Structure 1
Amino acid sequence: MNVVAFRADKEDGHPARGRRARPAAMGATDFDAWLKHLGFSERHAARVLQVGRATIARYRREGAPAHIGYACTAIALGMPIWQKAE
């Protein structure tokens, strides 16, 4: 997995803004392997990750951000959604 890093495009040191500001933390090949490992269709993955189907297609082409990679790991391990103990 790649390290998430900011690309400083401005002299003031602030990170670049926009979707392309950070490289994908989970590569497209890894995301596609996750889909196949779990037998998920793009539509089902979109429901589980709570994103649009077009976003899933983009992750398959370009890779996914770190938070999606963490969510994919948790789902593959069968972890439930976090709930505070009462």
Structure 2
Amino acid sequence: PDRIPGIVAIGRAIFSRASMLENSGDIKIPVLIVVGSDDRSRPPQEARVMAEALQNARMEIIPNAGHISNLEQPDHVTALLSAFLQEAL
């Protein structure tokens, strides 16, 4: 219970910050957006908006994963990252 005010303050700081999409047109490099199919805090719909705002983005949805898809489906995420880096580099 003593930690609740701190947790609430962190949540407000995170969710009240300016949209990162405002300057997304400046990003020219390849971008891989990975989102879990079951992510409730940043759902696939939000990731899709981000991918569409970026010039050179690819979005991948990890099935049966939430917000920490890299821990929930590590083999799948690692394969995606490896392939992306091979293509981008």
Q: Give your verdict on TM over 0.5.
A: no
Higher normalized helix content (fraction of residues): 2
Higher normalized strand content (fraction of residues): 2
Q: TM-score, normalised by structure 1?
A: 0.26
Q: TM-score, normalised by structure 2?
A: 0.26
